[in-house]
Structure 1
């Protein structure tokens, strides 16, 4: 592992005022862990960068003014062409299991952390994805292409709009610089934002390489900054594992409830904060298929939709193994993991009750949820449209808008009777409000992303910006954009998304 500084960097803390924003107040708590954790280096510039998309909502949360976000300085800094004063760029090292196999040392192969900004929302790390080669690029070019950058930018903000924990995206910049993938494409840089980008794989790296001092330092850093209550436990590191297990359980429940497939749930793509991280071959379900595999690189279907909860636990087990040197026994780690098995089903059940408009739990609810999933799967019903249409269901109505989604009408009628009986003592106004807040009208379907990408390749970024505005408030009606809530076209089923995406 390389830890030498590639080029001397400007580490000044007195940052001049940028237009319409306060000085960028940088901190570098991850860098304080020491050179074993990263390599310092500067981003590699791109020729003639241009704006592709900007999240003004994210900019406001960071305390950045609109004028600065439109400035030439911002464009240069967020492309990696100009060093942000006070920043300290670095790429971190980590390892991981990929598709169930130990892959050894990995690391930020195309992501460069600038540091963390002090914001009204607390410290937020700012990372440039696609900003050039690092010592961890493993024969890669360190670049991101326009299509994958658009997908990550839009989905990061879409997940936030859905209320699902996620890394965020401030902007995308593009360049006509050529990047070779399956074909020649153009380069782009996504500015990603999160309280921390630390992954399960960071812990695996120091555990497998037998660096107990660094492993402990990393665990202490995470506990002190993000899980301070664990410090009060008799065994803080077991408490950390339990806390991460419970956050991950809630994340898996959120994914399953909204019909989200991550596609590449390797341990190096699992956030220690329980955030959705690393948007590659993801997909929101169209027709409901529990065994759907969205990643065409996943030949064995390891990360199919219905396997995600178990893969979450498998990854946590790997994290537990990595943390074992800091614990008193293996049994302690297993006990810390045990809560996942109760938190996940309870969290999923709560989310599904909300989607069904059931404010209070009843014994028959589990059977109703299971029957709903079975009915949707048997009829391959569009997942998002079903739930949104269900918001207008009443026991007294004819249910035509919902029934018409099913080819097996008798099975639907039997289910509708079961659902209607459950609604007997549920306030209709409360139910409707609960459902409209938990069943989005809009999700980032693959074909919508593909349409925006095709236009962007022709320098038309209006589709990116329209999708962004709709997906940031996905529960609203957005009547002017009704088309974006419609059924996918026939060609959508032919879209192939792989790990290179």
Structure 2
């Protein structure tokens, strides 16, 4: 009798059927080229959740076939690698032609939940759009992008995803020599505001229309029957962008480089560079050391989101047909942002209804937070522990403030507001904990993971990913990851080279 167990075969990468939808656009939209091989690649980590989006088993991500493919050393069957061209405004100044300077699109594959996802290698070598760069990404910045992409998804914020992080001992020169890596990013499309600006500012209206039709047909098919599909496209992108800005603000996320070439036409968070999560609350905080003028400070993000939508509107103007119709599509940005932000803040405070004076309560809260430089994430998380009839339990929350009396006065108003809707402590805490994360990707946590990884210890990258995949759970065994940053973290800076 044969008692030997037959191990089930794990499907490999052959199930990824590349459609190369973007490659079917005219040749002017991209340059076809192969990735530059990455010497002796090794797996730093792969996201099982992201892999599941394209039907890959977690076991496949440990295979040599996977590592070689997503290092850029092996081209998957059916893939037609390319680098896309686009332009953009950088820090408010027209920068002209940019393009995928270190990213190579492998193509799009079927997503397990429906639709398709493009797979893009970031750090896969020089392209015609590298602008004197080497086309590589260093391990330091790649770890940050890998972790934050998945962390933002877990927070429920629209974002590109990160499938894998492949490392190498190859060095690239930044401020100092650093080892290189390749992140595989996933999104339904990587088309940006700057993709449209490229054709507008080059007076190429035929290509502008081709791109707009491609985006509408592939990603906004419901707009095809609109009286003016291009106006409807601008209105929908404006709405999504306004909502995205509100979602960023509500978790204290700062992008750092909100150039038009980093703005997704699908309303996704795209291109993680010098990002940060607010710690000591200061609306003027600048997370990008390169941003000396504070254009992309936390408080500026909603305004810059609107500015970028106007830049997109300018690019789409020839298709929309009139300034009036274009302005009409842009007109609701502030209304959409305000309504979404109001909704998110009410949820964060456990408020189920909207009252006329709520803005005063919110403004007073943020003024208190700013005055005491209260940690953004910890404050909102601990606010859920407030009890209606037991102010003595406020101590952990109250002690976050320098001016305790001012907090007491605010808490009195907050409790009165909660009583207006017969709020129940236990139900409110459950709802607030589901909205206010306990864990975010603080810079110091990323730095610890980076320093270990630079010594070939990838355990902290993997551990951080597991924690950040469940940001709203208590995870008492990982409580130290929700603590305030240590003193040494004050010296951490991230810039456009990060």
User: What's the TM-score, normalizing by structure 1?
Assistant: 0.95
1:313 — aligned with what? 306
1:71 — aligned with what? 63
1:8 — aligned with what? none
| Deviation at residue 129 of structure 1 after TM alignment | 0.1
Equivalent-residue separation in structure 2 for 1:19 and 1:436 (angstroms): 38
Q: Of 78, 86, 96, which aligns to 1:94?
A: 86
Asked if 1:409 corresponds to 2:404, the answer is: yes
Query: Contact conserved, 2:388 with 2:425, CA < 8 A, in 1?
Result: no
1:55 — aligned with what? 47
1:120 — aligned with what? 112
Equivalent-residue separation in structure 1 for 2:145 and 2:324 (angstroms): 39
Equivalent-residue separation in structure 1 for 2:163 and 2:26 (angstroms): 28
| Deviation at residue 20 of structure 1 after TM alignment | 5.1
2:475 — aligned with what? 478
Per-residue deviation, residues 240-285 of structure 1 (Å, max 9, x unmatched): 0000000001100000010011000000000000000000000001
Q: Of 486, 489, 492, which aligns to 2:489?
A: 492
Deviates more, 1:389-398 or 1:243-252: 389-398
Q: Of 319, 341, 348, which aligns to 1:355?
A: 348
Per-residue deviation, residues 197-220 of structure 1 (Å, max 9, x unmatched): 000000000110011111001001
Asked if 1:421 corresponds to 2:416, the answer is: yes
Query: Contact conserved, 1:89 with 1:115, CA < 8 A, in 2?
Result: yes
Asked if 1:36 corresponds to 2:33, the answer is: no
Query: Contact conserved, 2:43 with 2:165, CA < 8 A, in 1?
Result: yes
* Residues 21/106 of structure 1: CA separation in 2 closer, same or farther (3 Å cut): closer
Q: Of 196, 219, 234, which aligns to 1:226?
A: 219
1:4 — aligned with what? none
| Deviation at residue 66 of structure 1 after TM alignment | 2.2
Question: What secondary structure, in the 3-state scheme, does the structure 2 residue paired with 1:171 have?
Answer: strand
Deviates more, 1:36-45 or 1:430-439: 430-439
Per-residue deviation, residues 160-198 of structure 1 (Å, max 9, x unmatched): 000000000001000000100000000000000000000
Equivalent-residue separation in structure 2 for 1:411 and 1:496 (angstroms): 33
| Deviation at residue 395 of structure 1 after TM alignment | 2.0
- 5 Å matches for 1:70-469? 70-121=62-113, 122-397=115-390, 398=392, 399-424=394-419, 425-469=422-466
What are the ranges of 5 or more consecutive residues in structure 2 without an aligned counterpart? Answer: 1-8
What are the ranges of 5 or more consecutive residues in structure 1 without an aligned counterpart? Answer: 1-16
Deviates more, 1:474-483 or 1:182-191: 474-483
| Deviation at residue 230 of structure 1 after TM alignment | 1.7
Equivalent-residue separation in structure 1 for 2:59 and 2:346 (angstroms): 44
Per-residue deviation, residues 269-328 of structure 1 (Å, max 9, x unmatched): 000000000000000011000000010100100000000000000000000000011012
Query: Contact conserved, 1:359 with 1:431, CA < 8 A, in 2?
Result: no
Equivalent-residue separation in structure 1 for 2:285 and 2:172 (angstroms): 30
Question: What secondary structure, in the 3-state scheme, does the structure 2 residue paired with 1:46 have?
Answer: coil
| Deviation at residue 22 of structure 1 after TM alignment | 6.0
Equivalent-residue separation in structure 1 for 2:327 and 2:77 (angstroms): 46
Per-residue deviation, residues 137-165 of structure 1 (Å, max 9, x unmatched): 00000000000000000000000000000
Deviates more, 1:389-398 or 1:415-424: 389-398
| Deviation at residue 67 of structure 1 after TM alignment | 2.5
2:6 — aligned with what? none
Deviates more, 1:170-179 or 1:396-405: 396-405
Question: What secondary structure, in the 3-state scheme, does the structure 1 residue paired with 2:169 have?
Answer: strand
Query: Contact conserved, 1:21 with 1:65, CA < 8 A, in 2?
Result: no
User: What's the TM-score, normalizing by structure 2?
Assistant: 0.96
